[in-house]
Chains A and B, each alone.
Chain A
Amino acid sequence: MFAILSSLSHHRRLLRDFVSRDLRARYVGSSMGFFWSVIFPVVNLIVYMFVFQIVLNARWSPEQTPSEVALLMLSGIIVWQCFAETISRCTNTLAENQNLIQKVVFPAEVLPVYLTISALINMLIGVLIAELGVAWFAYIAPSAVHAATTEGTTTVVRPLALGASLVTLPVLMVLQATFTLGLGYFLAAFNLFLRDVYHVIGVAMSVWMFMTPIFYPAEKVKEAELTWVLMINPMYWLIDSYRRVLIYGEWPQPLTLAVFGAVALVAFFLGSRFFMAQKARFPDLL
């Protein structure tokens, strides 16, 4: 693990080149470049809103306004997309860059890292949109006070807010990167042993996405007494923490963060170990 960190710091210039080139390819390559990064999350949001809210009529809770639900979904989507995109690109990255691995002495450990960093930077655009939405609905055009009190229950309405807790955003992103990289390293190396991994990952990621409360409230899962599904899903812990910070201006729960951090470190340790142990064989496996 330390070997990998020192190699990464040694190749930071190379890493920077890769990240900047990847970002340029995202934004400069196509004519609408930058806007795609804005449009994709929004279009996704509209599609999922349509399917879940209107077609399936899946209500979150009565005290949540449509705008709040939209922002919750949006924040979930951008975090998930960043994670899923990185995992799927990592899985294929060695095969894709075989020209570099087979023909020059190349630090392959740079590849998953640049994909992760590039995706996180791209995610920031989505975060910005979500925060603009929060600011709009919380301060500029607050929606009418909803009928939370009609049933006489004592449900607490969580107000939308931008708060000081935003300073924890970098922490969340670093933890997310650590977790993503752990999986990414493992899958990148394992894909060389079995190329089917790349195809399996596509399916696995969409199963995982629907097991994570992104388009439906976590409460529904708890009501169905399937809480364990949430308990074993690190991505739920992560997305929940993001939502606290981004949508409600609350501080993330320390315990959740600590557990996620531990899982992320273990994943990174195991993944990078496997990757580095097999690294010498990459040119032969390709």
Chain B
Amino acid sequence: MNTAAVPAAQPTNRASGAGTSAILCRGLGKAYRMYQKPIHRVWELLVPGLSKHTDFWAVRNVYLDIAPGSTVGIIGENGAGKSSLLKLLTGITRPTEGEVFVNGRVASLLELGAGFHPEFSGRDNIHLNCSILGMRPEEIDERFPKIVEFSELGDFIDRPVKTYSSGMYVRLGFSVAASVDPDILMIDEALSVGDEHFRGKCINRLNELREKGKTIVFVSHDMGAVKTMCEWVVLMDKGEVVGQGSAEKVADEYLKRAHERGNQRLSAFNRGGSTYPRWGSGEIEVHQVELLGAGGAPTHVFRTGDPFTVRMRFKTHRAGARQPVFGLGIYRSDGTHVNATNHSWRREPIVLDEFRPGEEGVAEVSLPALPLLVGQYYLTSYLYDHSKAAPTPIDQQEHVVTFEVIDADRRQHGMIHLPTEWRVGWTGPERKEERESRA
């Protein structure tokens, strides 16, 4: 057992208010034992003192003090230790070091269909889950109709849950977790699966719980969702808490990290030999595609509204292309075609003559403000000869570069930012007034 020294007096940040804590963690850490071979576990079991594992610290040095009635968001990249922390808080796993205290009945909703027996019907699973949560039979019978009604499962309630869609899983899970009247409700990402209608219902229910003074812990990698739900945010990275505080404060830190991380990850990805299709006659080659952000600095992560420039460097290998035209396509990661543009099909086209072998150059396209909203996108570069009736490819590269758009403000949802103007007015005789908002 690893008993690494724990800092003796770490100042604990408080989520809000006074009184005893709903959740208190002191130097919490969880190490998973990694074995090279499964048999090594058995050797360890049989021979006392033998150590054949290496520790992987999923969570370490976590100090938390969550007051009753607060809504807390835990946020971080995939693998930051959010879910491991939540498992420690719910008591599913035991800490390797440190302590965790939880006051009150905990209901948790970890991942999809967690805690369900796939062969049981929805009805059986409700009973099962309620029993596990420590409810008495009368209590279960009393709550049962409410749970069924909230889940909107209809006839499916009597079918085995293995036949459920992922949305139905979440509906059932959330209905149980939220209906048992827990003191502390812990939710892990699950809500993102449901449809808009159900998500709305969930958020209403969460607000109800919040008004009743219940504690809610909400885990997500979606900053926008956390910001709308939680007043206190805990930011995790590599198993440690790297920041906690009000949503605004932590959001900045989060975006900064996402920016760095995104750049590292994406540039590594973009550097790798492309496996995407590339074709054309090859007289001219686009040998590099760069993305430039604010101030002309190369980046792969943008915020909505940032200046956005794509620079294509080309090299002429041999003569032959008579009227080359550079183009660019923007796609969202799911393949949705967002836009395609070139410098020929414009009101004032740029017409190029024949290139001579050995000539090099740059074609640039820029947007003063990137209108794309949060998501992953990729570019496809086109170089076509427009001298013939149907343009013929010289060098087309699918998926030539990838970039990410992040956004903490989330003022709009969807794919594209539209400059909108809002007017709300009263037209009755008592009040004649109009309010306006431009953005």
Interface residues of A (CB under 8 A from B): 11, 13-14, 17-18, 21, 25, 97, 99-100, 102-107, 193-195, 280, 283-285
Contacts and interface: CB of A to CB of B under 8 A. Distances in A.
Contact of A17 (B33, B41, B118, B128): B128
Contact of A280 (B41, B45, B94, B117): B94
B91 A105 contact: yes
Contacts, number: 66
Contacts of B45: 193
Nearest to B109: A103
B95 to A, nearest CB: 10
B114 A97 contact: no
A104 B115 CA distance: 6
B137 interface: yes
B39 interface: yes
User: Is chain B's binding surface mostly helix, strand, loop or mixed?
Assistant: mixed
A100 B41 contact: no
Given A103-B92, A283-B87, A283-B92, 17 more contacts: A11-B131, A13-B131, A17-B127, A18-B128, A21-B120, A99-B115, A99-B116, A102-B92, A102-B114, A103-B115, A104-B108, A105-B91, A105-B92, A107-B132, A193-B45, A194-B41, A194-B42
A14 B106 CA distance: 18
Given A17-B128, A25-B119, A284 B92 contact: no
Contact of B117 (A13, A100, A285): A100
Contacts of A104: 90, 92, 108, 110, 114-115, 129, 132
Contact of B114 (A18, A103, A107): A103
Interface string B63-102: 0000000000000000000000001001111100000000
Contacts of A14: 128, 131-132
9 contacts: A13-B137, A14-B132, A17-B127, A17-B131, A18-B128, A102-B92, A103-B92, A283-B93, A284-B33
B156 interface: no
A104 B132 CA distance: 8
A103 B189 CA distance: 14
Nearest to A14: B131
Given A100-B117, A104-B129, A194-B41, A284 B93 contact: yes
B124 interface: yes
Contacts of A99: 113-118
A106 B128 CA distance: 10
Contacts of B114: 99, 102-104
Contacts of A106: 115, 132
Contacts of B117: 97, 99-100
Contacts of B93: 283-284
A214 to B, nearest CB: 31
Nearest to A18: B128
B111 interface: yes
A21 B124 contact: yes
Contacts of B42: 193-194
Contacts of A284: 32-33, 93
B419 interface: no
Nearest to A279: B94
A132 to B, nearest CB: 33
A194 B35 CA distance: 12
A34 to B, nearest CB: 19
A102 B91 CA distance: 10
A46 B128 CA distance: 40
B38 interface: yes
Interface string B35-52: 000110110010000000
Nearest to A10: B134
Contact of B124 (A17, A194, A283, A285): A17
A106 B120 CA distance: 16
Interface in B101-157: 106, 108, 110-111, 113-120, 124, 127-129, 131-132, 137
B109 to A, nearest CB: 9
Given A13-B137, A21-B124, A105-B90, A193 B115 contact: no
A21 B115 CA distance: 16
Contacts of A25: 119
A193 B44 CA distance: 10
Nearest to B31: A284
Nearest to A107: B132
A17 B135 CA distance: 14
Contacts of B106: 105
Nearest to B46: A193
A256 B202 CA distance: 62
Contacts of B33: 284
A64 B31 CA distance: 64
A155 B354 CA distance: 116
A100 B128 CA distance: 10
A284 B128 CA distance: 23
A17 B91 CA distance: 23
